[in-house]
Amino acid sequence: MSDMNRHILSAFDRDLEGIQAMIMKMGGLVETQIRDGAKSLETRDEELAEQVRQGDKAVDALEDSLNEEAARVIALRAPAASDLRVVLSVMRMSANLERIGDLAKNMAKRTSVLSQLQPVNGSASSLRRMARDVELMLKDSLDAYIQRDAELARDVIARDSEIDRMYNTLFREILTFMLEDPRNITACMHLHFIAKNIERMGDHVTSIAEQVIFVVTGAADDLPREKVDRTSFDPKYSVQDSEE
Amino acid sequence: MYDTPFRAERDVSAKDTKIAAREVQVYYGDTHAIKDVSVDILDKTVTAFIGPSGCGKSTFLRCINRMNDTIDIARIEGLIEIDGEDIYDRRVDPVQLRAKVGMVFQKPNPFPKSIYDNVAYGPKIHGLAKNKAELDEIVEKALRRGAIWDEVKDRLDAPGTGLSGGQQQRLCIARAVATEPEVLLMDEPCSALDPIATGQVEELIDELRQDYSVVIVTHSMQQAARVSQKTAFFHLGNLVEYGDTDKIFTNPQDSRTESYITGRIG
Amino acid sequence: MSDAANPASPAASNNGARSIHTVDARTKKRNASEKRFKYYGIAAIATGVFFLVVLLGSILWNGVSAFQQTYLEVPVYLDPERLDRENPSSATTFTYNPLIAEAVWERAQELGFGDEFEDEGGMSPLISASAAAIIRDRVIANPDLIGETIDVRILAGSRVDGYLKGRVDRDSASRDRNIDVAHLELVDAMQENGSIRKVFNWDFITGTDASESRAEQAGIGVAMLGSFFMMLVVLGLSLPIGVATSIYLEEFAPKNKFTDLIEVNISNLAAVPSIVFGILGLAVFIQFMHLPQSAPLVGGLVLTLMTLPTIIISTRASLQSVPPSIRAAALGVGASKMQSVFHHVLPLALPGILTGTIIGLAQALGETAPLLLIGMVGYIATNYPDGIASGFLDPNSAMPAQIYEWAKRADPAYYERAWGGIIILLVFLFAMNAIAILLRRRFERRW
């Protein structure tokens, strides 16, 4: 908001600032969820995992009230142009954040299961690194949103391919573990889902970054983005990926 | 891009240019009211002029049917063409021009005569009807076009001033279309109407788009967004931005347009 | 009364809340001054009404009696020896005078007043000098009456009339050369007997002016006709000229210094004293153009000059009051400027124009000063104009000028007639204003 003139109707400014503050709060909450989820996985901390699972309720509640607020702003203020984009982006971002929250919760759920099983070597720290990167991307995209920084947002989008690459590496790694010792299969399956969850989080963060570009430029970002690594689609590994 | 049906309806890229203005300047005495406005207004399209008060949108609208001629101190430079003909050419009689370019005003202004006479007046002075039966036909057609026929068909002899505000405005639109114009200019046609009547007039404007090139000046940005396919934003006598309405209202290119549309202190 | 001088501090009262149930000092003061102002207004109106009542009252008090006139009713013997049946017009009024005097003398003797007066010659103060002419006219119209005794109503002398109306009493009669106290005694007796009566005076309304000494005969009728012809001239000239001027100035004329100048001058003309128009009329119409003096045509021309600014100003005001949206609407459907004016603007302005015109005419009707200068005053008319042309061109008077003239004359009977004339003039003015109001009510449109 800082680069724009004020509205003649100051209540409109307050409304827009309000929903953007809410989305930031939600973003912060989700960041913590990711961080705590990954941490609980690494440290096999069931208590923390439980905390993450409970924490998702707050995210969901925040999403509900954000949608309500956004609907109110649309109904009462009839926003146009950049204001309309702010409201629209906030609504989409809240949906993305809610999904990320769900994924973090799912991660925490699997963590509870994993902590009962034999730990699999090394993969947890890879996952933690991956989660850390996604968390950073999320932080950057939220910063980009606040600062209306399309460059930073594009950077975040670019970084998603790194996440994809990490996922693919992990995918191969987990596959290898499973081939080595079938007793690992249960744990590895959970680990793979967690990896997939984090990879999905990355996609949602990318979507948030796209909203930033939409808010700033008024157009959807149309930069070509290629899948750099198509490992998961390689028939060699013969795994069907329904998403993407 | 995926083409939705309603997007196709709003698509005006295939329409012809009806009014072409080039570097139009208007002076009121020493005041430079319109500065260098160039715009192509399309046929069978609703074009909205928006902008803050005193930005020159009404002034420019009044240039199109030479209503500014009635103001002594107004001076107009530049070129305005309708169908390729310069309307400020010396051979042009403004009276003839105004039969081709109808106008509807801010305040509903029916003549204090019967509903029938209100509509019949234009055709009468332009000799469009040979006899009473033909005139009756023209009046009925115009009232139907004005979407008011059903409400007044039983009381054509009643005074036009006795109608409600919305009906009066539709009567004025019927009066304007009775002379078979090709362009309809509307100067804030709904500013004196309640939302229901405004809705009816807007619906009518959308229907009129089939036959006319409609230019509407409005203070209500929502109205511009609702009824127009093209929008022109005027500011301090300049045409700041002109483009597809959906573009102007979702992603204007000029910061002044942006400020105005979003209700900011520009 | 200054609001700023007395900063109210809401915090001073309980919890910062000011009760609206207690009226604070400032509000009281304000209400009091409002009430005072209302009383001033009522007092002003009351004063106005008081003066109006006094004015109308005095006019009626003084003027109503002019509408009654005293007549003698005696049988007159038309002696065939003194009147020539074959050639009735050969006998002048001098022949008739003794006949009438004898008839009255006879009645006086019947009533036992034979001693006071030597002969029929003593009866003349009772009889109007114009009585003979009235009987003569009747005889000329019907010579068969000669030789018969006819019951005629003879105009009584102005002193007798004055006595019956209370203007003359025994005290004043004793100092009056024209009438004696004895006459008054006779009049009393004749009134009792029924041979002197006051009746409604149609002749005052329809009649002509009369000479200084025959106040009882004077009427305002011819002056009314003079006024009527003048008004025709004023209406016929000032309405079209005024309306055309207004339409041009209001709708067509470019707004520049020149038209501004014209506008200012028209407004100024409305304030020019009417006597100036009179002297202008004298110089231009009579001395330069040699139009007949004292003619209603010239009076009408002068009054036209005077009425034009009024009509132009009121017409322009009513043109201005037609909303511009009507003009825009007409132009918008492709009407030409003239069509828009004549089809739409003028019909809407018409009630205002007519009202202004009637008020202008009423003003002109009551105007005296310019008429004095072009000679439409004084003892002018003795007969009705015969025909339209002579109505315009023959010397005549006008109602206000006639009133002025009467008021100037010495005989108090004329003074009474002046008041009577004013009543008639006022009736006309009221009627015209009523028509103006009626027109406005009738044709006023809402838009």
- Going from N- to C-terminal start, the domains of chain A cover 10-233
SS3 at position C22: coil
Phi, psi at C372, each rounded to 5°: -60, -40
Residue B159's DSSP bridge partners are B114
The residues spanned by each domain of chain C are: 68-209, 221-443
SS3 at position C290: coil
Tens-digit pLDDT profile for residues C53-112: 999 999 998 888 888 888 888 888 888 888 877 777 777 778 888 888 888 888 888 887
Q: How far apart are CA C54 and CA C294, in angstroms?
A: 35
The answer for residues whose C-beta is within 8 angstroms of residue C313's C-beta and 6 or more apart is C266, C267, C270, C356
Residue A59 CA, distance from chain mean position? 13
ipTM entry:
0.85
Owner of token pair 């000032």: C238
Structure tokens at B205: 């404007």
pLDDT at B266 over 70: no
pLDDT value, residue B4: 63
CATH of A10-233, one of 1.20.58.220, 3.40.50.620, 3.10.100.10, 1.10.3720.10: 1.20.58.220
**Alpha-carbon distance B254 to nearest alpha carbon in chain A (angstroms):** 11
Cα distances (Å, whole numbers) of residue C238 to A72, B76, C207, C315, C354? 69, 40, 30, 12, 12
Instruction: Please answer yes or no on whether B249 and A80 come within 8 Å at the CB atom.
Output: yes
b/e sequence A207-216, b meaning 16+ C-beta within 10 Å: bbbbbbbbbb
Pairing relationship of beta strands B46-50 and B213-217 according to DSSP bridges: parallel
**Alpha-carbon distance B39 to nearest alpha carbon in chain C (angstroms):** 23
Query: Considering only CA atoms, which of C237, C244, C205, C245 is closest in space to residue C63?
Result: C205
In this complex, is the C-beta atom of B95 within 8 Å of any C-beta atom belonging to chain C? yes
Instruction: Please answer yes or no on whether B222 and A78 come within 8 Å at the CB atom.
Output: yes
Contact B118, B173 (CB under 8 A): no
Contact C373, C279 (CB under 8 A): yes
Q: Which CATH class is domain B5-109+181-261?
A: alpha beta
pTM of the model: 0.73
pLDDT confidence band for C380 (50 / 70 / 90): low
pLDDT at C447 over 70: no
Mean of all residue pLDDT scores within chain B: 88
Q: Which CATH architecture is the domain C221-443 placed in? A: Orthogonal Bundle (1.10)
- Lowest model confidence (mean pLDDT) among A127-136, C15-24, C191-200, C262-271: C15-24
Cα distances (Å, whole numbers) of residue B2 to A207, A219, A220, B245, C297? 20, 15, 14, 18, 88
pLDDT confidence band for C192 (50 / 70 / 90): confident
In this complex, is the C-beta atom of B126 within 8 Å of any C-beta atom belonging to chain C? yes
A84 chain-B contacts, CB cut-off 8 A: 249-250
pLDDT value, residue C75: 85
pLDDT value, residue A68: 93
SS (H, E, C) C84-117: CCCCHHHCCHHHHHHHHHHHHHHHHHHCCCCCCC
pLDDT confidence band for C1 (50 / 70 / 90): very low
Mean pLDDT, residues B6-12: 66
Residue B34's DSSP bridge partners are B26
Mean pLDDT, residues C174-183: 81
Amino acid identity at B88: Y
Amino acid identity at C430: F
pLDDT value, residue C445: 59
pLDDT value, residue C197: 85
pLDDT value, residue A232: 60
Supply angle C-alpha C385, C391, C393, rounded to 5: 115
Residue B37's H or E segment, with its range, is strand B31-42
C252 chain-B contacts, CB cut-off 8 A: none
Query: Considering only CA atoms, which of B60, B58, B72 is closest in space to residue B24?
Result: B60
The percentage of residues in chain C with a pLDDT greater than 70, rounded to a whole number, is: 94
Count of CB pairs separated by less than 8 Å, A with B? 43
Candidates B64, B98, B169: best to mutate against C (most CBs of C within 10 A) is B98
A with C: 3 or more CB pairs under 8 Å? no
Cα distances (Å, whole numbers) of residue C61 to B127, C53, C54, C422? 66, 12, 10, 12
pLDDT confidence band for C441 (50 / 70 / 90): confident
pLDDT value, residue C20: 84
Q: How far apart are CA B206 and CA B227, in angstroms?
A: 6
For residue B121, the chain C residue with the least C-alpha distance is C333
- The 10 Å Cβ neighbour count of residue C29 is 12
Mean pLDDT, residues B243-248: 90
Mean pLDDT, residues C160-176: 83
The residues spanned by each domain of chain B are: 5-109+181-261
Tens-digit pLDDT profile for residues A205-243: 999 999 999 999 887 765 555 555 556 666 665 544 444
Task: Please tell me which of the candidates C254, C334, C446 has its beta carbon nearest to residue B161.
Answer: C446
For residue B264, the chain A residue with the least C-alpha distance is A7
Instruction: Please answer yes or no on whether C335 and B125 come within 8 Å at the CB atom.
Output: yes
Residue B81's DSSP bridge partners are B20, B86
B95 chain-C contacts, CB cut-off 8 A: 334-336
pLDDT value, residue A242: 41
List, for chain A, all residue ranges whose pLDDT scores fall below the cut of 70.
1-4, 221-244
- The 10 Å Cβ neighbour count of residue C430 is 11
pLDDT value, residue A144: 94
pLDDT at B39 over 90: yes
Tens-digit pLDDT profile for residues C307-357: 999 999 999 999 999 988 898 899 888 888 899 999 999 988 988 898 889
pLDDT value, residue A73: 93
